[in-house]
């Protein structure tokens, strides 16, 4: 079976969404399940013949995107730019930034979720989508040690909701 891709932005960062209502319960008996794109947040249904999904386990947190609002510095080939982080997970982020980049480009960025701590450095992030000033990023490599601080920050923020 082909990996699922988002119908709007083409991302493969797609996750099973919870079923809502009787119709979706009935559809899931016929292997039609709801999904949500982690990059553009589009929700859609798709036939996944023969596949069963179990409820998300402890690993769910890793890709759960938390709404945030802080600034980031992006390092491009031609210099530094600023962007605003609007959601964040251990695996990626959505930024508001006007940058000369396209899907597939990679860049480095630093995240500064708090003033009291040194920034978190994402050494390699790949641009997954660019859409009207919004940038979907997938983190490929986070600097050693900073990945733990990122996880800790997300757990603290997530627990606060």
**Quick one: 156 exposed, middle or buried, by C-beta within 10 A (0-12, 13-18, 19+)?**
exposed
Instruction: Name the one range near Zn ion by CB under 5 A: 17-25, 38-46, 61-69, 142-150.
Output: 38-46
Tokens of 20: 């809502």
Task: For residue 37, state whether it binds Zn ion (rule: CB under 5 A).
Answer: yes
C-alpha dihedral, 76 to 74 to 89 to 1, nearest 10°: -20
Q: How far is the CB of 138 from Zn ion (least distance, A)?
A: 12
| CA 81 from centroid of its chain's CA atoms | 21
Instruction: Name the one range near Zn ion by CB under 5 A: 21-29, 39-47, 58-66, 120-128.
Output: 39-47
Q: How far is the CB of 44 from Zn ion (least distance, A)?
A: 9
Question: Which C-beta is closer to Zn ion: that of 63 or that of 149?
Answer: 63
Question: Which C-beta is closer to Zn ion: that of 72 or that of 129?
Answer: 129
Task: For residue 39, state whether it binds Zn ion (rule: CB under 5 A).
Answer: yes
Which x/- pattern over 82-111 shows residues binding Zn ion (rule: CB under 5 A)? Answer: ------------------------------
Contact 33, 16 (CB under 8 A): yes
Task: For residue 14, state whether it binds Zn ion (rule: CB under 5 A).
Answer: no
Which string of b and e fits 78-117 if b means at least 16 CB within 10 Å?
eeebebebbbbbbbbbbbebebebebeeebebbbebeeee
Q: Count residues binding Zn ion (CB under 5 A).
A: 8
Task: For residue 40, state whether it binds Zn ion (rule: CB under 5 A).
Answer: yes
Pairwise CA distance, residues 15 & 149, whole Å: 25
Contact 34, 20 (CB under 8 A): yes
Task: For residue 8, state whether it binds Zn ion (rule: CB under 5 A).
Answer: yes
| Contact footprint for Zn ion (CB under 5 A) | 6, 8-9, 11, 37, 39-40, 42
């Amino acid at each position: 079976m082909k990996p699922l891709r988002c119908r709007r932005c083409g991302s493969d960062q797609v996750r099973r969404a919870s079923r809502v209502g009787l119709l979706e319960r009935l559809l899931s008996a016929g292997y039609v399940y709801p999904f949500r794109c982690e990059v553009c947040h589009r929700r859609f249904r798709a036939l996944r013949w023969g596949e069963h999904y179990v409820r998300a386990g402890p690993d769910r947190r890793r890709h759960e995107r938390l709404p945030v609002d802080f600034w980031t510095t992006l390092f491009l080939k031609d210099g530094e730019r600023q962007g605003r982080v609007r959601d964040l997970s251990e695996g990626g982020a959505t930024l508001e930034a006007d940058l000369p980049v396209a899907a597939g480009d990679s860049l480095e960025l630093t995240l500064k979720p708090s003033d009291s701590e040194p920034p978190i450095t994402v050494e390699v992030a790949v641009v997954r989508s660019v859409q009207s000033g919004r940038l979907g990023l997938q983190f490929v490599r986070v600097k050693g040690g900073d990945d733990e601080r990122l996880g800790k920050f997300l757990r603290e923020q997530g627990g606060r909701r």
